[in-house]
Structures are given as C-alpha cells and as structure tokens.
Amino acid sequence: MGKAGEMIRLDDHAQEIITAVGSAYTGNGPARGHQLTYVLSLDNKEGSYARIDFDQSNTLAITYTLTDQ
C-alpha cells in the first residue's frame, strides 16, 4: 500500500511523500486512496511563503503525481 514519508516542507523541488506504492490502485469508496494531510503555517522569514500577498482571488496549487520507477 506504500510507505508514508516524514513531514516535509514544500518548496520548488520535487519530493517523495509516499514510496513503495507497488500499484496506483487504492480501492473504491470512502476512506480509500492515499490519505494526505496538509498543514499550512506562516513563517515570517525573508523569502518564505508567508511573505506572499495572498487573498481569496489567488490559488495555491499542490501537484501530486504518481510515477513508476
């Protein structure tokens, strides 16, 4: 079913969040699939995401891609 990775900080580089999946099939119905939890927090350091002027007219996109290695 795959092995979950540690908590990661998003940046502009590809990162592995689940490894050893074996198959893209995760079943049908509620509570199936790869369960991902996103936590957003503010970091006021120079150059951090918290410094972005964000309002409801903007969209934050996180791309999740399965690959076969």
Per residue in 19-62, pLDDT (tens digit) is 777 776 777 777 777 677 777 666 677 766 666 666 666 677 77
pLDDT at 4 over 70: no
Nearest to residue 19, comparing CAs of 34, 30, 3?
3
Residue 1 binned pLDDT confidence (cut-offs 50, 70, 90):
low
Q: Is the pTM of this model over 0.85?
A: no
At 4, which helix (H) or strand (E)? Answer: strand 3-4
Quick one: CA dihedral 42, 45, 47, 52, positive or negative?
positive
Q: State how far the Cα of 57 lies from the Cα of 4, in Å rounded to an integer.
A: 33
State residue 2's pLDDT score.
61
Return the pLDDT at 28: 77
Encoded tokens for 17: 């969040």
Residue written as tokens 């120079």?
46
